[in-house]
């Protein structure tokens, strides 16, 4: 007897999804902390700049160091596109310490803020901070940097690192190197901050006898390279 026919097995069709896979999320790398100077002409997106400096900055506006006005700091900022430069330069200044009748760096920044300044910042301090911490670390390096960053409050800021060739004393070169290490570590947490490594560009024959301050050649170079670094850090779009 012949049994009922067994129906043929039908092929099983795999379900085909019509959904489009989401595009992979590409995270943008953060901008580099350290500024690399470009080879050609540069301009910056910074229209207003507040430059807060110590005695390593004062010579950049002095006729005896920079005889040609076109080579001075204000003219060099204008060269890269800055329309308003506020230059706050005083000897003996650090983030916290200052000479009589002068302000420290944080006080200057607070005063500018209270007066309505908004723009980019250049902090050319640290040489005295490194020395002062070497003498008395009651307020450490990180705290000093963070106090300044709190006033800047997220606006673009270029820090200039510290360097000397002094072999002894609080201003000795190793103290500057420790400062620079702490500066890099601290500012790596602030996406608005960049560092110009002046310590990589300075030449031995740019120093005066004390191994801390600069002669005319070094001062002119510093007055050019800091604005160049600003343009490299925050270029015009």
% of residues, the chain, pLDDT over 70? 86
Higher pLDDT, 138 or 199: 199
Q: pLDDT tens digits, residue range 168-192?
A: 999 999 999 999 999 999 999 999 9
Q: pLDDT tens digits, residue range 139-156?
A: 999 999 999 999 999 999
Q: pLDDT tens digits, residue range 32-51?
A: 899 999 866 789 999 999 99
pLDDT band at 8 (very low <50, low <70, confident <90, very high): very low
Candidates 207, 224, 159, 213; CA nearest to 186 is 159
DSSP state of 51: E
Residue 96, exposed/middle/buried by CB under 10 A (0-12, 13-18, 19+)? buried
Element (H, E) at 169: none
Mean per-residue pLDDT over the chain, rounded: 90
CA 161 – CA 180 distance, rounded (Å)? 6
Q: What pLDDT, on the 0 to 100 scale, is given for residue 38?
A: 80
Domains of the chain: 48-231 (3.40.50.1110)
Distances (CA, A) of 119 to 44, 86, 94, 155, 192: 12, 10, 22, 7, 12
CA 190 – CA 93 distance, rounded (Å)? 24
> Residue 66 in contact with residue 59, Cβ under 8 Å?
yes
Reply yes or no on whether the pLDDT at 164 is more than 50.
yes
The whole-number average pLDDT for the span 103-113 is 98
């Amino acid at each position: 007897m012949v049994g009922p026919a067994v129906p043929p097995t039908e092929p099983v069709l795999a379900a085909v999804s019509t959904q489009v896979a989401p595009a992979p999320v590409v995270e943008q790398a953060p901008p580099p902390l350290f500024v690399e100077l470009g080879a050609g002409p540069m301009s910056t997106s910074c229209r207003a700049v507040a430059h807060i400096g110590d005695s390593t900055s004062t010579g950049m506006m002095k006729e005896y160091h920079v005889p040609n006005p076109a080579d001075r700091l204000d003219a060099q900022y204008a060269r890269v596109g800055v329309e308003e430069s506020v230059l706050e330069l005083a000897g003996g200044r650090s983030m916290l310490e200052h000479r009589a009748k002068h302000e420290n760096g944080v006080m200057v920044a607070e005063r500018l803020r209270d007066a309505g300044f908004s723009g980019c910042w250049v902090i050319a301090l640290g040489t005295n901070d490194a020395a002062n911490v070497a003498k008395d670390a009651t307020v450490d390096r990180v705290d000093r940097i963070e106090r300044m960053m709190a006033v800047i409050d997220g606006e673009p800021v270029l820090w200039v690192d510290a360097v000397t060739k002094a072999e002894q004393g609080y201003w000795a070169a190793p103290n500057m190197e420790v400062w620079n290490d702490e500066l890099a570590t601290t500012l790596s947490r602030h996406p608005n901050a960049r560092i110009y490594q002046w310590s990589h560009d300075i030449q031995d024959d740019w120093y005066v006898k004390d191994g801390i301050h600069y002669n005319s050649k070094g001062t002119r170079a510093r007055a050019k390279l800091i604005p160049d670094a600003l343009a490299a850090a925050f270029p015009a779009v």
